[in-house]
Structure 1
Amino acid sequence: MGKTVELDVREDLKKKLEPFQKIMAAIQPLAQGDVFILHAPFKPVPLFPIMKKKGFSYQAEKIEDKHWKITFVKTEE
């Protein structure tokens, strides 16, 4: 079983802070089989093709209003 990294960017976005660099820093050390869980206030569709290029598959799940949980799995190096 790989490791899991979880990041919640809802507060950053509420404060109008761009979380892209924080997300990229969080996924940087991940290896094949590792999981990255992102909590966001909306479905971050623009992030999906970027993560796919970096070798991640994903599953998005709406938890409640303004809370999406996206689970990315590193499938390739």
Structure 2
Amino acid sequence: MDPDHTVETLDAREIDGEPFSDIMSAIDGLGGEESVLLVNSFEPVPLYDVLDARGFDYETSQIADDEWHVTITPQ
């Protein structure tokens, strides 16, 4: 990853209620050298179609049974 690339972490497990709007707010402001690391308690499969439609790349990894990381980057 480019050393000028910045990554903001958004832990959806700490959000009360539905985190979708928080996730969209975080990614809508991303520039070319920025990413959001989404931390979630499950694999957010429904989010992938939204990210594809909005032109974002994402990389998912399972860290533990109840911890998933999704790095979201503009294309």
1:11 CA displacement: 2.9
Query: Which ranges of structure 1 fall in alignment gaps of 5 or more residues?
Result: none
Q: Show the counterpart of 2:72.
A: 72
TM-score by length of 1: 0.82
Identity %: 35
Q: CA deviation at 1:3?
A: 2.6
Question: What's the CA shift for 1:54?
Answer: 1.6
Query: How does the TM-score come out when normalised to structure 2?
Result: 0.84
How far apart, in 2, do the equivalents of 1:67 and 1:18 lie?
17
Root-mean-square deviation (CA, aligned residues, Å) is 1.4
1:11 corresponds to which residue? 14
Cα distance, 1:64 vs structure 2? 0.6
- Unmatched runs of 5 consecutive residues or more in structure 2: none
